Chains A and B, each alone.
Chain A
Amino acid sequence: MFEILTGRFEEIFTRLRGRGRLTDADLAEALREIRVALLEGDVNLEVARELVEKIRSRASGAELERSLTPAQQVIKIVNAELIATLGGEQLRIAYAPKPPTVVLLAGLQGSGKTSAAAKLARWFVEQGRHPLLVAADLQRPAAVAQLRLLGHEVGAAVFSMPTDPVDVARRGVAEAVRVGRDVVVIDTAGRVSIDTALMDEVRAIGRATSPHYSFLVLDAMTGQDAVATAVAFHDALALDGVILTKLDGDARGGAALSVAKVVGRPIAFVSTGERPSDFEVFRPDRMASRILGMGDVLSLIERAEQTYDHEVAGRAVAHLRSGRFSLEDFHDQLQQMKRLGPFSGLVGMLPGMPREMRNASIEDSSVTRIEAVIRSMTPDERENPAIINGSRRTRIAAGSGTTPAEVNDLLNRFKEMQKLIRSSGMMAPVGPKGRRDKRKGGRVTPARSR
């Protein structure tokens, strides 16, 4: 999401890193570039100005002169300022001593409130809570139906009534008390911030339900208007935080910086895709790292841990060790990786990934084709691809909707991969001279090598 801001900063910092000392001119140029990057990234004008000023004063103060690597110091300052602006620490949900904990979602039309409500309910379920969803959007046709369907999907009950939004919300909370739900998530209708009547309505919903948490649901693609919108909703509801949505796009994400700064509330959650599980607690330090090109590896690892089937992983490792890593194993690994989400999303999280690679589209469709080819093989063929001759190749191609050339290509690439795996020493600990290293108690490299 912050990829383009990241790319920009990388350019700046590559230049900065090369210099031993920073001159005033250097600093001025760097700050200019930073301002441009922020504005192109949809950061609010005023927020960008303040951020640059803060960085300037910190960078040109005594702090910098004392340091041995001024460039590194500037980077550290930018990182710190970004984290501070993004909200410093993570928001932790503190549950009400007397349940239910009431959560109210509000925002502009199309920001993703209904989806976020369902995802948030699912998140609460994961935390061991029992949420009730309240469908208080009576404006948009089929909004209630949508929430019902989503609620069913995530395992949360949905309450709705065809009266009026304030009434539904109030009754929803009462219903939660009645049936013993400990969390209530209220979805409301989208509304423009300058419509005073509708802003009054959302204020009234707030008063009727006394939410413990009021969140502004904000689309990550929002431009300069983000601040005005946030201020208006903050005025009406006393926001506790922001839920940032559609982060799987390539929007630069400046709205996040601006809103956090101006409203002084953290970004609580982020929605990173269309699946109900694409929902996480916002981590300012990781986002800041992403902007600075340091990658977001921690999020990736966590996601992997959650979705990876440990049995499959264990099997793969065992096979790797014994030199039996086959097409079957490869296919399993591809399946596991698919569960992590689209490749295009993962690439942005890897540190040090050059901009060109990040922006190149990783074809999910080619992974599907590889899987199809492997699935068209017999178990024997998967274990021992050497038996695949011309007629088998033709059969596999026909079965997978590919061409014999593609099948050949996959087999060659897989052979290369196996070679790499063996030569990299993954299979057994190997000493510097390539021989079996007795000190490490390793096994001999398997007989079936080149």
Chain B
Amino acid sequence: MSIRRHRPGEATPSSERVSAAAPRPKEASSRPRLAERLSRTRQAVAAPFGRIGVGRIDEATFDELAETLLSADVGLKSTGRILDALREKVRAGAVGAFPGALITALRAEIVAGFAGEDRALKRNEEPPSVWLFVGVNGVGKTTTIGKLAAQEVAEGRSVVVAAGDTFRAAACDQLASWATRCGATLVRGADGADPSSVIFDAVEHATARCRDLVLADSAGRIHTKANLMDELRKVKRVADRPPGRVSEVLLVIDATTGQNGLLQAREFTSAVGVTGIVLTKLDGAAKGGIVLAIREELGLPIKLVGIGEGVDDLVPFDPDDFAAALLGD
């Protein structure tokens, strides 16, 4: 198996020139960016809580709240738990009588679910740090790696990107395009090559050249396919072999995913020990409420959020902004 390495500045193998995404305005901190994106969603979605908080809080009120949470893919179980907790607060008189008090309390309840999380991306003491990206098909693993590589390079780190998706047609080209643009090194193999070897080779290369970070892509795979999950187990095992040490296994979840997201999280965690979630496509109308259920059942922290297709559209997860967008106010 031949492994070709692309240095920054080398032409990508694909011949057509793809028009770059329209440049987006740069912003200093992440909070205004996320808020700006999410406000588009709020404008697009009619505010559901016109009436709530004005007048009596009764079961009809809670039904409306349930509908909002269910419509955000929070799921029956988590919705039930959150609203039970809210009911208790109301009974205990802990919710004020002013309009909007109930929503404020609900938002606080949601935010509380994310308390105590360590959302920092873990780096090894001895470089390179190795971050493996996993998930089902089409969720945005490759795009996330592209954005993250660019951001890390901009912060002064040396990045090696491993093209571990050896199955999808032109997946390596897609990643190469990102790597070339930002000056990360790409390590790739031949089509259909063993993904474990490609990633191992990337780790060896990064170790030998004292690079800071290896971002390893993997092919999208449906978690019910035993052979594909076996392959992923092997990928993790091999990536973890000295000189490598995988410090993050990031499960990428599409915000439009319904209850299946929980099944995905369960299976991938059981197979390769997921350390954190990247929630993508939050710039659409979907609220990504399934992460509440994932957090509740598996305790996985959400580390990053994808809010668009541009390089800057990857930001740290913020529970307050997330809860506000979920409730649409």
Interface of A toward B, CB cutoff 8 Å:
36, 39-42, 45, 108-112, 138-146, 148-150, 153, 160, 162, 164, 192-195, 219, 221-226, 228-229, 246, 248-252, 254-255, 274, 342, 344, 361-365
Contact = CB atoms under 8 A, between A and B. Distances in A.
Given A42-B260, A223-B290, A194 B285 contact: yes
Contacts of B176: 142
A365 B231 CA distance: 11
A174 B168 CA distance: 30
Given A42-B258, A160-B16, A228 B285 contact: yes
Interface in B275-329: 281, 283-287, 290, 309
B174 A141 contact: yes
Contacts of B143: 140
Interface stretch (B26-34, B52-60, B122-130, B134-142): B134-142
- Give 4 nearest A-B pairs by CB, closest first: A223-B258, A110-B138, A141-B177, A42-B258
Contacts of A145: 14, 16, 169-170, 173
Interface of A is mostly: loop
30 contacts: A36-B76, A39-B76, A40-B259, A42-B259, A45-B70, A45-B71, A109-B309, A110-B281, A112-B137, A140-B143, A141-B146, A141-B177, A141-B178, A142-B176, A143-B174, A145-B16, A145-B169, A145-B173, A162-B18, A192-B284, A219-B256, A219-B257, A221-B136, A223-B260, A225-B285, A228-B285, A249-B222, A364-B227, A365-B226, A365-B227
B257 A361 contact: no
B11 interface: no
Contact of B285 (A142, A144, A193, A362): A193
Contacts of A274: 137, 167
Given A160-B16, A249-B222, A219 B138 contact: yes
A193 B284 contact: yes
A222 B67 contact: no
Contacts of A194: 40-41, 44, 284-285
A222 B256 contact: yes
A225 B224 contact: no
Contact of B174 (A142, A150, A221, A252): A142
A229 B167 CA distance: 29
Interface centre among B73, B260, B261, B284 (most CB of A within 10 A): B260
Given A40-B76, A141-B173, A342-B225, A108 B281 contact: yes
Given A112-B137, A150-B169, A364 B259 contact: no
Given A219-B254, A249-B222, 10 more contacts: A42-B260, A108-B284, A140-B18, A140-B174, A142-B176, A146-B173, A162-B18, A222-B256, A229-B284, A365-B230
A118 to B, nearest CB: 9
Contacts, number: 174
B72 interface: yes
A133 to B, nearest CB: 13
A266 B225 CA distance: 29
Interface string B150-184: 00000000000000000111110110111000000
Given A112-B137, A221-B258, A223-B256, A344 B284 contact: no
A417 B70 CA distance: 50
Contacts of A141: 18, 146, 173-174, 177-178
B163 to A, nearest CB: 11
B140 A110 contact: yes
A321 to B, nearest CB: 35
B137 A246 contact: yes
A224 B258 contact: yes
Contacts of A222: 256-258
Given A45-B67, A141-B177, A149-B169, A162 B258 contact: no
B121 interface: no
A284 B175 CA distance: 39
A226 B139 CA distance: 16
Given A40-B259, A221-B258, A142 B140 contact: no
A42 B75 CA distance: 9
A146 B168 contact: yes
A219 B286 CA distance: 14
Contacts of A254: 258
B21 interface: yes
Given A361-B226, A365-B230, A250 B169 contact: no
B263 interface: yes
B243 to A, nearest CB: 29
A161 to B, nearest CB: 9
B2 interface: no
Contacts of B263: 250-251
A164 B254 CA distance: 27
A153 B168 CA distance: 12
Contacts of B169: 145-146, 149-150, 153
